[in-house]
Chains A and B, each alone.
Chain A
Amino acid sequence: MDALSWDGTLTSRDFLVSARAFAEKWKEFNSAFPPWTWVPCPPKQPPCHLPQLQQQQQQGYLSLEKTCLPGSSKKGHVASQEDVDEISLTEGEEELEPVDNATLVETNNSPQVCYYDFHIVYSDSYRVPVLYFHCYYIDGHPLGLDEIEKDLPACSAKVLLESKWTFITQEEHPYLNRPWYKLHPCGTSEWMKLLFLGDDSLAKNGVAVEQYLVSWLSVVGQVVGIRIPFEMLNNPKSCN
């Protein structure tokens, strides 16, 4: 692709190519971290009276789950107002079982950890990848947006505040059908174009689809504290 005439978007086919390249590269340079895995999803069947679309391309998303972000652990889990009213739960402790001295009674001062699940989903409307994420305490309680904003690394709060190019919104996950947070993609193609235009080698050699997700996540990841090793950026692989 010619970088000058390129509009910063990606076809769904190119997204697949780029996702595969990205996952491999991540494994190569980030072996210490859990890998991104491709989660295939059967395409949603339209109601049978509608004509089937020809395009039966593989659908799915890249997933990195149960990630602990550096420096995101909390000292204590402040029960949110919405926790089920404790009254109905504390009708008095029950004597359930005999005292067992082989059970360790833990002194509960381990840090409260938050886990993040990240999904990279292709948006057909914007024709760009979108980062969806979900954050929860170790027992599965989800964090609200206000809690996430407090939990995210300090630098990302700054990025969010200063940047005009993205913001966190809550929307239904296209495959899981429940609300997840996402970084809104409406500015993505514009800054992706700028990003690629600013790169001399890309300007010379054309846009390498394989490099798209790496470059994209190097920007988007800042918001949620995912770091891309410099080597990944600096090492564009040629097409096979």
Chain B
Amino acid sequence: MEGSSGKSILQFAPFQSSVDEGFWHRLSSLKLNKFGIDDSPIPITGFYAPCSHSQVSNHLTLLAESLPSDSSEESVVPEISRGNRNRCSVPGILYNTNTVERFHGLDKQGLLKAEAQKIWEDIHNGRALEDSSVLSRFLLISFADLKKWSFHYWFAFPALVLDPPATLVDLRPASQCFSLEEAESLSAAFNEWRNSSLTADVPFFLVQIDTNSHSTIKHLKDWETCQSADGHKLLFGFYDPCHLPNNPGWPLRNFLALICSRWDIKSVHFLCYRENRGFADLGLSLVGEALITVPQGWRDHPYVPNAVGWELNKGRKIPRGISLAKSMDPTRLAISAADLNLKLMRWRALPSLNLNSLSSLKCLLLGAGTLGCQVARTLMAWGVRRITLVDNGRVAMSNPLRQSLYTLDDCLNGGEFKATASVNSLKRIFPAVEARGVVMAIPMPGHPVPSQEEQTVLNDCRSLHDLIDSHDVVFLLTDTRESRWLPSLLCANTNKITITAALGFDSFLVMRHGAGPFSSSHDSKAEAANSLSADMSNLGLTDRDGGKRLGCYFCNDVVAPIDSTSNRTLDQQCTVTRPGLAPIASALAVELLVGILHHPHGIFAEGDVLNSSNSESSEQPLGILPHQIRGSLAQFSQMTLVGHSSDSCTACCSTVVSEYRKRGMEFILQAINHPTYLEDLTGLTELMKSASSFELDWDNGTDEDDDDCVDV
């Protein structure tokens, strides 16, 4: 070109960008807390250092401290300190748009030109001699999608274009250009320059080598004084971020523009300063000579040369993008923190903990009162993610104190449905929870329904049936005994893991129901959910107690329990309970579930009692698996009991379950409408006559309309 045969065009390796995560974090925070929709340009600071690796170029880096500080930000990010040899500050400007359309619509040519003009002016007014970093001034455009935590961005490193381009006379490693003495003196001078906090971050300088081989490094503003001495070599040096052996890096471009327009030098000797392990590396550094023809018009000040410098993305002229959802999305952070907590427990204490079985488990909570709230929370703490809450009540003013998912806000305007408020609350606590609320009344025996409401009740029965069918575990946490009857029956029918918690004033009962009466022969669904094989279910049934199933909530009021002092129905007094009771009972209910899930026999596991001689269960990592836990706050005591199923149980005996299977909804309606029907069917009427010492309050249950009744 231009007839300069044999001389090649001097080609510069483009600057490359690197953006630390911290930059985007601070930009997001500033956008949210300070800038709002103000999209005026923001001055920023980039950092670079000489290349320090023979294979890798240094990049212009943006860090959190590249942005102005955000006072509302909690983090303690150190402010920019001058004189850091590895962080030479470079001024830049950020255009952060409010929409992706604005981002794409920015006049990129115009923005680049505007920055180039600033460089051009700094060259002409001499500012570039005082603070040479302005020669590397850069431009960043971005769009921060704060909803998706993704960022679109594009850097430009404006370079004034020499036209015609500079040609290369010679370029070789610096080590080949100096005598031994010169090299030694030069290295020493460089190391001094780089180690002084006054000069370490000054990226452009003059290198003067005297005839006696003595080298000095000087500031650009001292150029005039360098002219007086005779016989020395003068090199224009700069921190070169580029590692390539045959090309200087990008900063030399504007340096050449300065050299030719200010000092009118046609043949420029330059030095690309590069390092290795913190010391000048003359093998990596380059020394070259370039010929410049001062372009037409450069002497007129109003003229601004063309500029180039938009950074390519993998060779293409497109912007870059980064998604930081992993480190910014609070939901994902909460999930990983919750997982970590459970994994720590597994690593440190419970290697057999099956976290997958917990996270995929579907739990149905009947009742979202004191017990329901607390059970839901404890389930989430164990890593259970799928929770359905059933309740037809609304949050009352007295509720938030005892029912841990509610606040006063939920009580206003007549009160939110508990099913809705509890789900919202669970999601606020842990956004990844898959919680569902169902507003529904549970049909109860002994509460006759008028014929016009029959259809509604039947629909409720079917809904409850479907809900139980579609869950793996059912918790009975309602406030009355009779509301537990239908779910107990449905669970016995489908052989679901069922856990009951009930409260008295200062005593509680927590128990798991045994398998249903036909569990071994008919139902395989529940077994599958419990990951038990058919063999295991048989094994469970033919246990050493002669095939006795564990009882359900209703069996135990009929079958004489082992400890007669505990033989009181606990939830009859629908009055008040000591506030500490519900959290204790709820916690035990969930722990009982976790025990069942980790027991090899699952729902069929025998009931262990404390100090049980059964060595097999004491070897279980979670300890014994009781059938019932009865506790009393009056004595601060707790005991484990076993009660087997009763043949005349109104909820789980084979007579009742097979009657339900035969007659379905008709049977349910009859039970609801005719108080004595169930007792007659199961022979309980007979039993009651013979066992007058037990007071059974089947149908003198509490008035369900009484709203002052404490939900438990």
Contacts and interface: CB of A to CB of B under 8 A. Distances in A.
Interface of A: 31-34, 39-42, 44, 66, 68, 82-86, 88-91, 93-98, 100-106, 108, 110-111, 113, 134, 136, 138-142, 144, 164, 167, 169-171, 175-179, 184, 186
A117 to B, nearest CB: 9
A108 to B, nearest CB: 6
B337 A93 contact: no
A138 B310 contact: no
30 contacts: A32-B277, A40-B78, A82-B325, A84-B152, A88-B100, A88-B321, A93-B317, A94-B108, A96-B108, A97-B307, A98-B306, A100-B161, A102-B11, A102-B12, A102-B161, A102-B166, A104-B13, A106-B13, A106-B315, A108-B314, A113-B55, A140-B17, A142-B327, A170-B340, A177-B73, A178-B21, A178-B75, A179-B327, A179-B336, A186-B344
Contacts of A186: 344, 348
Contact of A34 (B166, B278, B348): B278
A103 B75 contact: no
Contacts, number: 162
Contacts of A164: 347
Given A104-B247, A142-B327, A170-B336, 7 more contacts: A83-B322, A102-B161, A104-B13, A108-B314, A169-B344, A178-B21, A186-B348
B340 to A, nearest CB: 5
Interface residues on B, range: 35 or more
B19 interface: yes
A54 to B, nearest CB: 20
Interface in B351-389: none
Contacts of B327: 142, 178-179
Interface string B318-340: 11111111111000010011001
A82 B326 contact: yes
Nearest to B77: A176
The 5 closest A-B pairs by CB, nearest first: A84-B321, A177-B75, A140-B19, A93-B317, A104-B11
A89 B319 contact: yes
A179 B310 contact: no
Most buried by B among A41, A88, A89, A102: A102
A18 to B, nearest CB: 22
In terms of DSSP, what is the predominant structure of the interface of chain A? loop
B55 A140 contact: no
A130 B189 CA distance: 40
B660 interface: no
A61 to B, nearest CB: 10
Contacts of B17: 139-140
Contacts of A134: 21
Interface string B88-121: 0000000000001000100011001000000000
Contacts of A105: 315
B308 A89 contact: no
A41 B76 contact: yes
Interface string B535-576: 000000000000000000000000000000000000000000
A113 B21 contact: no
A140 B19 CA distance: 5
Given A84-B323, A102-B165, A140 B11 contact: no
B14 interface: yes
A106 B14 contact: yes
A152 B310 CA distance: 34
A98 B309 CA distance: 10
A169 B333 CA distance: 12
Contacts of B277: 31-33
A102 to B, nearest CB: 4
B10 interface: yes
Contacts of B16: 138-139
B9 interface: yes
Nearest to A97: B308
Nearest to A184: B344
A91 B104 contact: yes
Contacts of A84: 150-152, 321-323
Nearest to B276: A32
Most buried by B among A34, A104, A113, A184: A104
Contacts of B320: 89, 139
A51 B19 CA distance: 40
A83 B277 CA distance: 33
A93 B348 CA distance: 53
Given A83-B321, A102-B10, A104-B13, A140 B76 contact: no
Contacts of B337: 171
A140 B326 contact: no
B18 interface: yes
B9 A139 contact: no
Contacts of A68: 53, 56
B512 interface: no
A212 B306 CA distance: 59
B137 interface: no
A105 B110 CA distance: 23
Nearest to B347: A167
B174 interface: no
A140 B75 contact: no
Interface in B579-631: none
Contacts of B165: 101-102
Nearest to B317: A93
A194 B61 CA distance: 43
A97 B310 contact: yes
Contacts of B76: 41-42, 44, 175-176
Contacts of B317: 93-96
B410 to A, nearest CB: 28
A234 to B, nearest CB: 23
A199 B277 CA distance: 34
A32 B278 CA distance: 8
A97 B328 CA distance: 35
Nearest to B108: A96
Contact of B11 (A66, A88, A103, A175): A103
Contacts of B340: 169-171
Contacts of A103: 11-12, 14, 159, 308
Contacts of A98: 161, 306, 308
A44 B76 CA distance: 8
A184 B347 CA distance: 11
Nearest to A105: B315
Contacts of A104: 11-14, 244, 247
A40 to B, nearest CB: 8
Given A44-B74, A89-B321, A177-B74, A102 B162 contact: yes
A120 to B, nearest CB: 16
A211 to B, nearest CB: 26
A113 B152 CA distance: 22
A88 B336 CA distance: 29
Contacts of A31: 277-278
Contacts of A89: 152, 313, 318-321
Interface string B147-161: 000111000000101
Contacts of A176: 22, 64, 75-77
Contacts of B481: none
A113 B54 CA distance: 13
A31 B73 CA distance: 36
B84 to A, nearest CB: 10
Interface in B627-675: none
B484 interface: no
Contact of B18 (A139, A144, A177, A184): A139
